[in-house]
Amino acid sequence: MALFSTGWGRPTGGGFFYDKASEPISSRAQDYNSPGDNSSPAGRTIPAGSGTSAYDGQIVWWSDFTPKKGKVTASFAVLFKDCLFAPSFGLLKLYADKELIVSNTAPLRQSTQKIRFHDGTQTTPDPLLLAKLGADKVSSWPGLAYAVFEDFDCTPYGNHVPLIRAVLSGVVTAQPSSDELSTITFEDWATYDPHFGEGFYRAESKASAADFAKGQIYVVVHPRLVSGTPETLGWVVVVDVASNTEISRAPLFDRTGAGWRRFEDIVALQGSDYFVVSNDDMSSVPSHTTPAKLLLVNAMSGEIVMRSAPLGINGRIVIASALIESGAATRYLVFCDCFEDTTVRSGLAIAVVDITNLSISWIVDPFDSPAGGPNARVVSLAIGPVEDGAATFYWTEQDRSDFGFGSFLPDVRKGIASATGFSEAIAYSESEGGKYPQGVAYDEADDSIVVLREDGSIRKIRDGATVYTAGPHAVTNLGLNLQLYISGWCCQYVARPGHAFALDADNRDIYAIDLADGSIAIRADLDDFEFIGWSDVFHVDGINGWIAEYGDWVSTAGQISLITSGDATPGQVDLVDIFTQLATSDGRFDAGDLVFIGFPGNECQGFNLANDTTIDDVEQSIAAAFDVKIVESDGKRKYFWPPRDGSFAVDQELAHQDFVETGTQTNIKTINAGEDEYAGVTFGYYDQDADYQKLEQPFDRPRGVFDVTRSKKRRTIPSLLSMTASQALRAATLAVFRSVLGNETYAFGLRQGMAHVEPADTVAFDFRSFRTVARIREATFKDDYTQECLAYQYLQYSEATYDGASLTPPQIAAISLHARLIWLDTPLLSRAHDLGGTGLVQYAQMTGYGTAALASALLYRSDDGAIFTLISERSDMTPVAGVITAISGTPTDPFSTDFANTIHVAIGTGEPASIQSVSAEAFYNGANLAAIGRPGAWVLIHYQDAAVSDGLAVLSTIIWGAQGSEVFIGDLAPGDLFVPLDPAKYSRFTTAAGGLGESRLYKAATALVSLGTVVTEAHVSTGAAEKPYASVNLRAAVDGSDIDLAADARSRLSPWEMFAADPDSGEAIDAFEWDIMDGDTVLRTLESTDPAVTYADADIVTDFGALPATLTFRLAKMSATVGRGHLAQATITL
């Protein structure tokens, strides 16, 4: 049969056709679909694969060419693939000789020809094949995806059967989900705060928000009050999603003394420490009759740091936020809905919140400049693209007089807002009654909007034209970006491009919406979970696969219920799905035997297997493309995603005593010549953006850390994978970095009795006094139970900007990729740090968020916000930071040891166990130094004793106000920060002396987070480290008709020599200024070169008329660099 003898057949016709299949080819399923045999009915290999990819069709049955009315038609069956790794495959696109004839994704296209697609689940034969072959020969071909073309018009294709090509998408088996309540790490509420013994019933959660960028949930807790009791209390609980653990509990407070109402609807400013809430300055029972303000709240400290001006309208609900810029300032748009039944000035309000400069300004106020339709309220709001500091967004409306469903308005409105203005237009208007928009989403995949209509149908609109209308679906009350007061519940979410989430509150279901075609599928049936409390707001992370909410009736105040899935990207085929399908396809493993460590999801789209091979070869080929390590240990098959760019923790610390000799040495380092470094990579993959054509895409070496190479070698990496260009870039990046890392290898032996290491473990050890991080490549047990190991040095961080491919790697939403900057404008921490007046010393601490380790952090600085320069780096660390919850008593004399009072700290990040007691000798020699307070008012302390339990630390035996910081002791308050000062963990950098008093911009980031999404902080160089200490022992004595003033000066460079007769000044000049005071008025200033001066009789008479009974004066030691030091003041009876 020559027709099928050379692979894919291609008959031709029109009177001049070749061999005709006189006996049509057919086969029973058992003839070709037995395990290990993927031969087709035509005796050819059947492609297999998973996820989304393209497959060239193989003709396995053909009837004949038939001339009809000037056309040539033919009927044939085309086989695409074996559903070996997925139960079925859907048809996305169908091509005939490269012409798109069917598309089930936007833009939709349907063929007028008779084409029937079978997805692999079919159990009955195709009717045409049954008629042509007969029941005794025909098969349904179960487990194969194929299409039947009946009387297909071949005329447009030169009177031959065209090459048929299909883009197919495999069904993903849903990963099991479970829900758990978060762990409470702080004390029971009744114990935690004494107010619960004063008539309050109990604490209860009243609002929540999700910071998806940081992986944290904020829960605001208020006490349930006895009737008539004024409300003045509140707390912010922060839950770390990665560990499902409470990591912070801070009391709400306002340093101005202003009050607040109970918080009820809050929205996080993504990637920052802040959230916003609509509130006012009252502390009585909440009401919507008083014009409210926006409050900006620091979730980590509980401080209300800023209040907006009130709108000219009552009730307001905060509904969404969007980051619009983060250069010279980090600014967010905050969207609110206002409603006041007594006026028609309701609807959209927009504020700009600047967290760099701590300001809030309104750009849309319904009272003065209403947006949207008259007498309307916001129902649904969707954020679109943000470009050049302006956000595009869309919203739907409802008549203000109706609460709940009903009276939706016909328009979808489009707004563009920036820090300087706002404009709006009608994006879409529905003409059919009963089908008005009740929800809207934005699809960034094709810059369109998707409208959920009242009848349950979904319509996509692009450039004012309808792309598709799907449905109506049976579920008509879906809340797509629906606001809380409309339905009683709402769903706040993030999703991968092309998807959205909606809540069906009636049936207690969360649906995923595929914006490409308007299809819907249940993401979670909330009735299936034990700890769902229906607390108004559900937070859905569709990228990392979790759902969170609080519910008082099933949990303690501040707790959340967290629903998690075993797959980081449920509903999407990626590496976890592929490796699972490969490992379980032949029965060798069950899914429960597989452990996936560190996979971020969204690594690829699928894979395409077209040639005979083995499962092991396929698995190893795909693993090699991403440097995934596969290890079998502890009865499990473990897959390790390669740690990279500093976003990883060390598995084991190896001390000197852990090593044993191998040969004559304990650790042998080999440095290769560099010939194996890659100058670039050519990566082969099926490109999603080119309709899954196989491409060989070159990627050049990244600019930045590894600019110079010793080799011009390029590597070609073939793969079976279907990917986007950005996903291929990620794989190419790994290959380039891996070639660099292989240049330094370590061979060592580990003693018996220590915890063993495994291939793919990341270890750290000292090599010739340098800390080294390496990844285990080989680990072999010897007869004496020691291990011989081979490891290669691993990368701490890198930059990933490429020449030749203007692509950005997909952002991986991992908690370890985010860094928090704590500005430490403290006194000089070490004499060795002093610059002798040539510059200003500055400190900062970069910490992580939550319990996840911060393996690496980078600190950038900019003068203007246009260019940020790296000024400090810290790697492989887990710095601790916390919040002070209470200080017992009043701090005592800063120049003695306080044995009575204690400091209570809630550890928010880092390892609490690192807070430890020290010996008295170490304590009095400067151990356990920490900063408490806030920027501009840090108090340095030493503590000897620490008791740590459940994330709470109680510090005692304290020296307060070390290094001249005692001047700020009176400013300490609950909510202040606690930062241990470890020289290995804090950052030290300098500023030119001429920059005193100037503000500069700073960002703390890790390598894979775009600087454009990192919060910009503005900090002023105050010269705190150069500021002379306040003098002590101020004295005044009458000397005849004069008054002699004196004091004991102190040195910044020798802080422990505060009472020495002649301490090292530490200043370039010896100068003092003495202010003679009358209340708050400075009468005159005297100058001296010593800490003593005479207040002359003539000046006394001028100032007071006669010798006063008491004298108040201030003293400042001078600095040539920063001017006046800290002031000391005394009132002396003469």
Q: Give the mean pLDDT per block of 10 residues along the chain (1134 residues).
A: 26 30 30 35 64 86 81 89 81 89 76 90 90 84 90 89 88 64 74 62 81 88 63 81 81 80 85 85 47 84 86 68 88 82 65 92 76 77 89 87 65 92 91 88 88 90 89 81 64 80 83 85 79 79 81 76 67 79 80 77 79 78 82 79 55 80 63 60 82 78 43 74 79 70 76 73 72 78 81 51 27 51 92 88 86 69 86 76 84 85 86 88 91 94 91 91 92 86 88 90 76 84 93 93 94 63 70 95 95 95 94 95 94 93
Beta bridge partners of 958: 898, 943
311 with 295: CB under 8 angstroms?
no
What is the per-residue pLDDT for 1011?
A: 72
Q: What is the DSSP letter of 573?
A: -
Nearest to 306 by CA among 315, 298, 318: 298
Q: Hunting for tokens 């998807």 — which residue is that?
A: 499
Angle in degrees, 0-180, between the axes of helices 725-741 and 615-626, rounded to the nearest 10: 80
What is the per-residue pLDDT for 10?
A: 35
Superfamily holding 1032-1133:
Immunoglobulins (2.60.40.10)
Is 52 exposed, middle or buried (CB count within 10 Å of its CB: 0-12, 13-18, 19+)? buried
Taking residue 917's Cβ as centre, other Cβ atoms within 10 Å add up to 17
Helix (H) or strand (E) holding 923: helix 920-924
Q: Give dist(CA 206, CA 533) in Å, integer.
A: 13
- Omega before 107 within 30 of 0, i.e. cis: yes
- Omega before 472 within 30 of 0, i.e. cis: yes
What is the per-residue pLDDT for 698?
A: 78
Nearest to 904 by CA among 935, 932, 940: 932
Is 522 exposed, middle or buried (CB count within 10 Å of its CB: 0-12, 13-18, 19+)? middle
* Three-state secondary structure of 952-977: EEEEEEEEEEECCHHHHHHHCCCCCE
- Continuous H helices in 725-853: 725-741
Q: Give dist(CA 868, CA 1015) in Å, integer.
A: 13
Q: Give dist(CA 645, CA 648) in Å, integer.
A: 8
Q: Give dist(CA 252, CA 492) in Å, integer.
A: 24
Token pair listed for 736: 């380039």
What is the per-residue pLDDT for 413?
A: 92
842 Cβ partners below 8 Å, 6+ apart?
Answer: 824, 825, 988, 989, 990, 991, 1021, 1025
How many residues are recorded in the chain? 1134
DSSP-derived 3-state class of residue 713:
strand
297 with 309: CB under 8 angstroms?
no
What is the per-residue pLDDT for 937?
A: 93
Token pair listed for 259: 């009050």
370 with 422: CB under 8 angstroms?
no
Q: Give ∠ CA 907-910-913 in degrees, rounded to 5.
A: 75
pTM of the model: 0.68
What is the per-residue pLDDT for 1074?
A: 97
- Domain segments of the chain as ranges: 2-170, 573-807, 817-1025, 1032-1133
Q: What is the DSSP letter of 84?
A: S
788 with 780: CB under 8 angstroms?
yes
Beta bridge partners of 609: 48
